[in-house]
Amino acid sequence: MAEPEPGSLSPSSLCIFRLSAIGDTTHVLPVIRTVQRHWPNTAITWVVGRTEAGLVGDLPGVTFRVLDKTAGIGRCWRQLRREEDGRVHDVILQMQASLRASLIATALRGRRRIGFDRSRAINGQWLFTRERIAAGRQEHVLDGFFGFLQQAGLARRELRWDVPLPADAVAFAERELPGDALLLALSPCSSQRFRNFRDWPADRFAAVIDYASSLGFHVVLTGGPSARERAYATAIASAASVPVTDLVGRTRLKELAAVLARCAGLVSPDSGPAHVASALGVPVIGLYATSNPARTGPYRHREYVVDRYPDAIRRFLGREPEDVRWGTRVRHPDAMDLISVEDVCAMLDRLVVRLR
């Protein structure tokens, strides 16, 4: 579809439906910034999950419909229908392809409803939309999201995130972090999902902490409040030979963002914090073996990724990377062991060169 001139022919209202996850919601931010820049008269609504709203729910110029996914499909549908109060959007960008999301999104009314192309419209999403974005190439998730805007009629791109950091979150970071230290964040855990296998051994994280200390970094551990994450952080800190600042389980999402913004870099597997840091402009040393960093890596800092995904494809799937479907996961518990301490320390060396 041809792009209209900025400010003319723009829809009066546009609704983005993307409930989760934290990393994916950071990928929505440049889409919103692009609409705000080139379609300034378009009213923007974002249907988002409750957890994710803790990070993005204070964006200026956006009306939020915040849903608690744990409440169930029916309750979310009724809440959304009630809050929309008969509103009809010019365009709905249905950026989530789970069946639950598709069913909830039927509560929205719109003249145009855009979904993924057939290959990415999994779980029957194609049954719930009337238009599709262009067939996906081998592209990053964020680039795929821009396909929705292009289908809607806007081919521009503003690669700006501008995550708001409220004063209380900034104050938390200033209070909890050593003020005169060169800080390196370490977020060791990814989300707990069935056969996810993205965690890296605790003793290797500890070795990286020791090496980072030799380069002049003070390490800050970050993570969620689950017993698993707390136990993992304790094991890492105990194995390291230098003290760390342990904030695992002590930060809300905005406080986490403020902490990351104070750091010179982050070491993390494929996780929400990795994408939050990248959105903030903080270099991310991503640890990737089970997922493809070209698709889900930290968008602004893929040059620091430790990429053992091709090795994992060969060893655990017995195939060549170019022969598997784009986005294929390596669901093997030993895949992350392909990443060595030396791999990560080499990226730390590159980061130090950048900081000089």
Q: Within its chain, how far is the Cα of 28 from the centroid?
A: 9
Q: What string of DSSP letters covers 33-46?
A: HHHHHH-TT-EEEE
Dist. CA 14–CA 90, nearest whole Å: 6
How many secondary structure helices (H) and strands (E) does the chain include? 13, 12
Stretch (H or E) spanning 4? none
Stretch (H or E) spanning 312? helix 309-312
Dist. CA 44–CA 24, nearest whole Å: 18
Q: Which amino acid, one-letter code, is at 333?
A: P
**Sheet containing 13-17: order of strands:** 62-67, 43-49, 13-17, 88-94, 109-115, 131-132
Dist. CA 190–CA 178, nearest whole Å: 26
Domains of the chain: 13-152 (3.40.50.2000), 167-355 (3.40.50.2000)
CA–CA distance from 100 to each of 48, 71, 197, 322, 327 (Å)?
A: 13, 12, 24, 32, 21
Stretch (H or E) spanning 78? helix 73-84
Task: Give pLDDT, residue 47.
Answer: 98
Task: Give pLDDT, residue 193.
Answer: 61
Angle, CA 323 vertex, CA 319 and CA 328 arms, to 5°: 85
302: Cβ contacts below 8 Å, ≥ 6 apart: 286, 293, 294
pLDDT beneath 70, residues of the chain: 1-8, 192-195
3-state class (DSSP) for residue 163: coil
CB 345 within 8 A of CB 265: no
Nearest to 263 by CA among 318, 184, 333: 184
Task: Give pLDDT, residue 7.
Answer: 45
| Buried/exposed code over 255-278 (b: 16+ C-beta within 10 A; e: otherwise) | bbbbbbbbbbbbbbbbbbbbbbbb
Nearest to 65 by CA among 86, 45, 91, 89: 45
Bridge partners for 65 per DSSP = 47
